[in-house]
Amino acid sequence: MKIILASSSIRRQQLLKRLVDDFDIVESGFVENSIKYNGDCKTYVMELALGKANDVCNKLEDKQLIIIGCDTVVYFNGKILGKPKDREEAFHMLKSLSGNEHQVYTGLAVINKFSGIVRQEFVKTSVRFSNISNNEIEKYLKKEEYGDKAGAYGIQGYAGIFIPEIRGCYYNVVGLPLNRLYKMLIGMGVNL
């Protein structure tokens, strides 16, 4: 069975290489805003992940495929913090996270196109930010790491210096919870 990652994220590709030597990338064209957030993060991220996986599944004719879809969001104070649309929004996101704890949710969807089996799961990790000054935020923003990251930060980059504590899976915060995905793939009979 060929494994397909329905994501163009370099971080996810690098992480998946820890589990699978050979896989293909097929970027999903799924429109994320077609899923409305109803206040339940776990359902929301799983629906987004499934939408991405289904989009790729429908594009490919080969039946011998395992397709992995995923989506990661930051949840804070009852709101989803997605990827910032600009530097100003990134600044406000980071300012709100300063000195506070938030949650990172990743939804996973794995489709076995041959058998038709679909599995969906989610992982939640709590992340605490230290108090960060406006100057520290500006210094971080100058590094331009914030653009394609939920909550305007990547724990694996410079922003890691702002994070004294996490509870849960580190790789979830990066965008691909390896342990959970490994168990899902093994559970679907994938020989890793």
Q: Given the DSSP bridges, would you call strands 24-25 and 2-5 parallel, antiparallel or unpaired?
A: parallel
Between CA 155 and CA 8, with CA 69 as vertex, the angle to 5 degrees is 60
The torsion region of residue 99 among left (phi > 0), alpha (psi -120 to 50) and beta comes to left
Region label for 68, one of left (φ > 0), alpha (ψ between -120 and 50) or beta (otherwise): beta
- Please confirm, yes or no, whether 71 is among the known catalytic residues: yes
Active-site residue (options: 22, 71, 86, 148):
71
Could you count the other beta carbons within 10 Å of the beta carbon of residue 158? 14
User: Catalytic site residues?
Assistant: 71
